[in-house]
Amino acid sequence: MHELIKYQFNTRRKKYGTGAALSLLNGNVGREVLAFHKKLPNYAVTPLHNLAHLSRRLGLGSIHIKDESWRFGLNAFKGLGGSYAVGKYLADKLQCDINSLSFAALNTPEIKEKIKDCVFVTATDGNHGRGVAWAAEQLGLKAVVYMPKGSSLIRAENIRHHGAECTITDLNYDDAVRLAHRMAQTKGWVLLQDTAWTGYEEIPTWIMQGYMTLAVEAYEQLAETNSPLPTHLILQAGVGSFAGSVMGYFVEKMQENIHNIIVVEPHQANCLYQSAVMDDGQPHCVTGDMATIMAGLACGEPNIISWPIIRDNTSCFISADDCLAAKGMRISAAPRPGTDTPFISGESGAIGVGLLYELMNNMHYQDLANRLQLDASAHVLLISTEGDTSPDIYEDIVWNGRSA
């Protein structure tokens, strides 16, 4: 029988203060990152939608979802990580403090002369590469982007729109990362990759820190509206950089008041779920084409920086069918008229909504929902990490009923 949901409760979750260090993701770092982003062109706080009708219908205390389709005009959150990593790299190169650095200062003739030969290279399914290309474009610098086979042509064109050189390869995501790494070594380019491995850890840490801006904003938005702070986080994962960043911030901020953290991945690229199943405390990889509509999550090798954070703080690892992402997209786009605000959530952004709906409506998963304490006392925070980054795919799913 094909399961829509496979799950593994985490036997290695630690009490607050006894697991992997979270000092690089604490509130002070988050405020520093947010201050940097506020200096960037087109910065604005992205919406936090209160899905009050959906929460009542599902029998939950509240559901809030952060809508990152509005971020920097890029239709996804990834520009946060790429821009902060570019800023940190250039601050180091110029021997100055990032707190005193802005993209306006980096565009002065004196500094532009010092950084003009920098070329940034990365691999991406689309969103991260577009974020890197956009950040480089703001400074008149070059970016080179490699995409895995099967990548959306529209996503590639969006990257080229920012002046980057973009190639769709015949490789899967993880091999495209290896290609970007080789090219950086051969050409003397700067690798800006949103995953880490032994010997390549500093820049991925900066990228994870860059993602903290959305977590800081969400926390402040909840506080400013006197909304309940989350008891539950549902975070989607590819390599785990985003999930590790957001959970790290909230765990450090709220400590044991976060009752359950759920990490969800596609069945075809469930490396964190498989690592939890192996239960030896180590990250494990999955291989193959990883063909999923959740292109942004089609990653088979966990980030070694985020893995200890995820291992020590996640309550439950879930592997989900593509149809749940499709369901989440439709629910987000078409709530009952006159109830919740409709919004556009892409394939990788909507899996949290689809998963939550399935857990609360399918009797087959009632025991799982109960074990996760998803009831009237639960206040759930979700992040819609992208909008319709490939409009043709979005329409095919939302209008035509495609589910895989």
Residue 343 near residue 49 (C-beta atoms within 8 A): yes
| pLDDT by position in tens, the chain (length 404) | 579 999 999 999 999 999 999 999 999 999 999 999 999 989 999 999 999 999 999 999 999 999 999 999 999 999 999 999 999 999 999 999 999 888 788 889 999 999 999 999 999 988 999 999 999 999 999 999 999 999 999 999 999 999 999 999 999 999 999 999 999 999 999 999 999 999 999 999 999 999 999 999 999 999 999 999 999 999 999 999 999 999 999 999 999 899 999 999 999 999 999 999 999 999 999 998 889 999 999 999 999 999 999 999 999 999 999 999 999 999 999 999 999 999 999 999 999 999 999 999 999 999 999 999 999 999 999 999 999 999 999 999 999 999 87
Q: Are residues 35 and 83 in the same domain?
A: no
pTM as predicted: 0.96
Cα–Cα distance for residue pair 184/120, rounded to 1 Å: 8
Q: Is 275 within the bounds of a domain? A: yes
Examine the fold and report which residue of 166, 199, 232 is the final residue of a domain before the chain moves on.
199
State which of 167, 199, 231 marks the end of a domain: 199
Asked if residue 403 is part of any domain, the answer here is no
308 and 180 within one domain = no
Domain of 71: which CATH number? 3.40.50.1100
**Is 109 a member of any domain?**
yes
Same domain for 189 and 228, yes or no, is no
Contact 369, 360 (CB under 8 A): yes
247 and 331 share one domain: yes
**Residue 39 falls in the annotated catalytic set:** no
Q: Please tell me whether residues 38 and 99 are part of one structural domain.
A: no
Residue 72 domain flag: yes
* Catalytic hit among 66, 67, 78, 388: 78
Choose one of 199, 219, 245: the last residue of a domain: 199
pLDDT value of residue 105: 84
Residue 404, in any domain of the structure = no
Rg (alpha carbons) of the chain, rounded to whole number: 20
Domain check: are 191 and 221 in the same one? no
Query: Is there a single domain that holds both residue 252 and residue 386?
Result: yes
Q: Is 116 a catalytic residue?
A: no
Number of domains in the chain: 2
Q: Where are the beta strands (DSSP E) in 303-363?
A: 316-320
Structural domain range at position 126: 79-199
Q: What is the pLDDT of residue 365?
A: 98
Q: What is residue 1's predicted lDDT score, i.e. its pLDDT?
A: 56
Same domain, residue pair 209 and 336: yes
Q: For residue 404, what pLDDT is reported? A: 78
- Is 307 a member of any domain? yes
Candidate list 67, 125, 312, 321, residue with the active-site label: 125
Do 160 and 208 lie in one domain? The reply is no
Residue 214 sits in the same domain as residue 184: no
Looking at the structure, do residues 156 and 70 belong to the same domain, yes or no?
no
Please tell me whether residues 259 and 298 are part of one structural domain: yes
Cα–Cα distances in angstroms (integers) from residue 212 to residues 69, 149, 169, 170, 363, in the given order? 16, 30, 31, 33, 36
